[in-house]
Amino acid sequence: MRLTTAQALVRFLAGQYSERDGVEQRLIPGMWGIFGHGNVAGIGQALLQYRDEMPYYLARNEQGQVHAAAAFAKMRNRLQTFACTASTGPGSTNMITGAALATTNRLPVLLLPSDMFATRSPDPVLQQLEDTRGGDVTVNDAFRPVSKYFDRVTRPEQLIPAALAAVRVLTDPVETGAVTLCLPQDVQAEAYDWPEEFFRRRVWHIGRPVPEPEAVERAVALLRGAEKPLIVAGGGVVYSEAERELRAFAEATGIPVADTHAGKGAVPWDHPCAVGGIGSTGTSAANALAAEADVVLGIGTRYSDFTTASHTVFGNPDVRFVNLNVARLDAAKHSAEMVEADAKRGIAALHEALSGWQVDDAYRARTRMLADDWNRKADECFHLGHGPLPAQTEILGALGEALDDRDVVINAAGSMPGDLQMLWRARDPKAYHVEYAYSCMGYEVAAGVGAKLAAPDREVVVLVGDGSYLMMSQEIVTMVSEGLKVIIVLVQNHGFASIGSLSESLGSQRFGTSYRYRAQDSGQLDGGRLPVDLAANAESLGATVLRASTVEEFTAAIATAKANSTTTVVHVETDLFGPNPPGSAWWDVPVSEVSELESTRKAYETYAAAKRTQRHYL
Ligand SMILES: Cc1ncc(C[n+]2csc(CCOP(=O)(O)OP(=O)(O)O)c2C)c(N)n1
Ligand SMILES: [Mg+2]
């Protein structure tokens, strides 16, 4: 069959399906893109020709389209994703941050950056990097370290192995992440005689690897000897749809369950074994149990520094780890007894092997006591009566009360992830969508697009700070044009509440963390407040905008937003200075060892003391 390389790729992708638990779905149900000279006549022509088989979505920024694809994949538990086409040069390199986000979060996205001419006949083409060290270097080589598979299709027939390898990696729960196929602009348009079988319907089975019986035995031997075990539930539990198994296992054994951002919601916040978020922004309950735990059972977690409080949260000198993970990379962390398996199958195997065993009543009672105590603290954060501007925790409290169990909240960076990790009361594994592996400012709004496309039957609520909004809010236009009803809660505090408070705690006096005029007298950015109106900005992009200045107004605005059928932004101003919810763990951010500033010297003393509690789990 004679087709161009671009036509062949689009047709091939339209024929790829994923399957798990007997359910088949299109692996790539559409392609995002922004056209330029690098793809308009190649992939662009193919998308026009096959517009019924491969729907096209127009983004406003190439980074945004990758975030939308990643959010879609996250909502669909990695069983589906989008492809993303971009023009040569800046269009393509705009996708690099999105690629890093996807790979760090272990989320599949297929990226198709356009590349310079394979023939090199018109070199240097517009937007081509001319590297004196090598003729084959292009800006797209920057995708290599952030891609789990990278290829450059410099001849049409190379597409066959490259496309198959791409899909192999996208559908592998261990390897998955950003997959990048660079497509030189001339090769995209070049014709070739393709074998018909390349385009046949192909189903990729997404496996559920079972644990080795010996590995289960070793893990269970350790767990049986535990007096104070603790489960850390990560994203692997959610992606594997193992929430029922985890709840049953926790109920039967009485092992308390702490969660990471990616694992939140797998066990409902008010489940008798739930103790909430763990680590640097964890609850006092989870962190108290972590401090004593003798065996930690990590399920589907990558143990980021926020989860381990930079290797300080697990305080028992004899603590041992059992890690159930599909990826050996994660299973091996902290010298664990490894159970390499799918979370759903692995939990079931551990449950069976541990049948009849449970923690003692005193430990169950202590878990409840700590969780109840934390829940009272959280209630206080929700009802501070703070003024004149509301505290962010009050806004989160009001939002939580207004939303239903299946409604999705999205967030990624700033002070909100920490507040949410401690305070958010999720009951559904897909209701809490916080990207906290790359914590990328700018993910939020774009992710709202992808999440709503993945779950049109759910209310999707994007929480975004003013800093993140200023970085990337352009996909509001995409929401409007696609008719996607998303609620965006825009939290305006005129700067970085997060990094401001971090800066203060590290002795850096909030330097450079608020949005102010440069003052005439000081010459610094500490002048008056800027005349910025982000609500008007959102309105100008086509959203319906509601302004709230009190908690009561905010609650009313959310009710209106829920009743609306179009993209609605709720703008609320909050206090830049918190107060923050009560922290109970550390985060390792190095402080200058020598300084002229008293604030830095004092912070260094505190830092040095905390640093002494950090350890390797060997
Ligand atoms: C792309 C990107 N740049 C920088 C950072 C570092 N950073 C983390 S939070 C933050 C400030 C976020 O400000 P805002 O969105 O207003 O949230 P707030 O802290 O006020 O809650 C910065 C600069 C980041 N996470 N991502
Ligand atoms: Mg802010």
Query: Residue 85 has what pLDDT?
Result: 98
Ligand 1 atom nearest 392 alpha carbon: 21
Q: Are 113 and 43 in contact (CB under 8 A)?
A: no
Distance 496 CA to ligand 2 centre (A): 4
What mean pLDDT is predicted for residues 43-50?
98
Q: What is each CA distance from 143 to 137, 149, 150, 162, 258, in whole angstroms?
A: 12, 10, 7, 16, 35
Question: Nearest C-alpha to atom 4 of ligand 1 is from which residue?
Answer: 441
For residue 466, count CB atoms less than 10 angstroms from its CB and return exposed for 0-12, middle for 13-18, buried for 19 or more: buried
Percent pLDDT > 90 in the chain is 100
Ligand at shortest distance from the CA of 502: 1
Q: What would the pLDDT profile of 241-250 be if each residue is shown by its tens digit?
A: 999 999 999 9
For ligand 1, pick from 466, 496, 505, 513 the residue to mutate: most ligand atoms within 8 Å of CB: 496
Mean pLDDT of 487-498: 98
**Residue 299 binned pLDDT confidence (cut-offs 50, 70, 90):** very high
* 402-447 residue pLDDT tens: 999 999 999 999 999 999 999 999 999 999 999 999 999 999 999 9
Q: What is the Cα–Cα distance from 555 to 180, expressed in whole angstroms?
A: 43
Name which residue sits closest to atom 1 of ligand 1, judged by CA: 441
Closest ligand (CA of 413): 1
Q: Which atom of ligand 1 is nearest to the CA of 498?
A: 19
pLDDT band at 604 (very low <50, low <70, confident <90, very high): very high
* pLDDT score recorded for residue 208: 97
Averaged pLDDT for residues 276-287: 98
Q: Grade residue 4 by pLDDT with cuts at 50, 70 and 90.
A: very high
pLDDT score at 501: 97
Helices 361-382, 416-423: axis angle to 10 degrees equals 130
Q: How far is the CA of 464 from the centre of ligand 1 (A)?
A: 10
Distance 360 CA to ligand 2 centre (A): 46
The 3-state DSSP class for residue 450 equals helix
Ligand 1 cavity residues, CB under 6 Å: 413-416, 439-442, 465-468, 493, 496-499
What pLDDT does 517 receive?
A: 98
Tens-place pLDDT, residues 543-597: 999 999 999 999 999 999 999 999 999 999 999 999 999 999 999 999 999 999 9
- State the closest ligand 1 atom to the C-alpha of 470, by its place in the atom list counted from 1: 15
Number of separate helices (H) and strands (E) present in the chain: 24, 23
CB 233 within 8 A of CB 258: yes
d(CA 607, CA 335) in angstroms, rounded, equals 27
- Which ligand 1 atom is the nearest neighbour of the CA of 412? 25
Q: Whose CA is nearest to atom 12 of ligand 1?
A: 414
Q: What is the whole-number distance in angstroms between the Cα of residue 494 and the centre of ligand 2?
A: 6
Measured by CA distance, the residue closest to atom 9 of ligand 1 is 414
Q: What is the mean pLDDT of the chain?
A: 98
Please check whether residue 576 is in contact with residue 494, taking contact to mean a CB–CB distance below 8 angstroms: yes
Rounded to an integer, the average pLDDT of 367-384 is 98
Share of the chain above pLDDT 70, in %: 100
Report the separation in Å between the CA atom of 445 and the middle of ligand 2, taken as the mean of its atom positions: 15
- In sequence order, which residues have a C-beta less than 8 Å from that of residue 172 and are 6 or more positions away? none
Give me ligand 1 centre to Cα 445, in Å: 14
Band of pLDDT at residue 10, cut at 50, 70 and 90: very high
What is the number of the ligand closest to the CA of 572?
2
Q: What gap in Å lies between CA 265 and CA 274, rounded to an integer? A: 10
Q: Which ligand 1 atom minimizes the distance to the CA of 97?
A: 1
Ligand nearest to the CA of 465: 1
Distance 494 CA to ligand 1 centre (A): 12
Contacts with 450 (C-beta within 8 Å, 6 or more apart), sequence order: 67, 68, 69, 70, 71, 72, 73, 74, 75, 82
pLDDT in tens, 329-358: 999 999 999 999 999 999 999 999 999 999
Where would I find the beta strands (DSSP E) of 185-293? 191-193, 202-205, 229-233, 257-259, 274-277
Taking the centre of ligand 1 as the mean of its atom positions, its distance from the CA of residue 29, in whole angstroms, is 32
**In the structure, what pLDDT confidence band is assigned to residue 267 with cuts at 50, 70 and 90?**
very high
92: nearest Cα among 135, 62, 126, 130: 62
468 Cα–ligand 1 center, Å? 6
Pocket perturbation via mutation, ligand 1, pick of 498, 501, 510, 515 by most ligand atoms within 8 A of CB: 498
- The rounded radius of gyration (Å) of the Cα atoms in the chain is 25
**Cβ atoms within 10 Å, residue 17:** 17
> How close is the Cα of 132 to the center of ligand 1, in Å?
37
Tokens of 433: 């969508």
Separation of CA 557 and ligand 2 centre (Å)? 20
Ligand lying nearest the CA atom of residue 472:
1
Ligand 1 pocket mutation pick from 499, 508, 530 by most atoms within 8 angstroms of CB: 499
φ, ψ of residue 297 in degrees (nearest 5):
-100, 100
- Closest atom of ligand 1 to 468 CA is 15
Centre of ligand 2 to C-alpha 516, Å, is 12
Closest atom of ligand 1 relative to the 500 alpha carbon: 19
Give the separation between CA 144 and CA 287, rounded to whole angstroms.
38
For ligand 1, atom 5, name the residue with the nearest CA.
Answer: 441
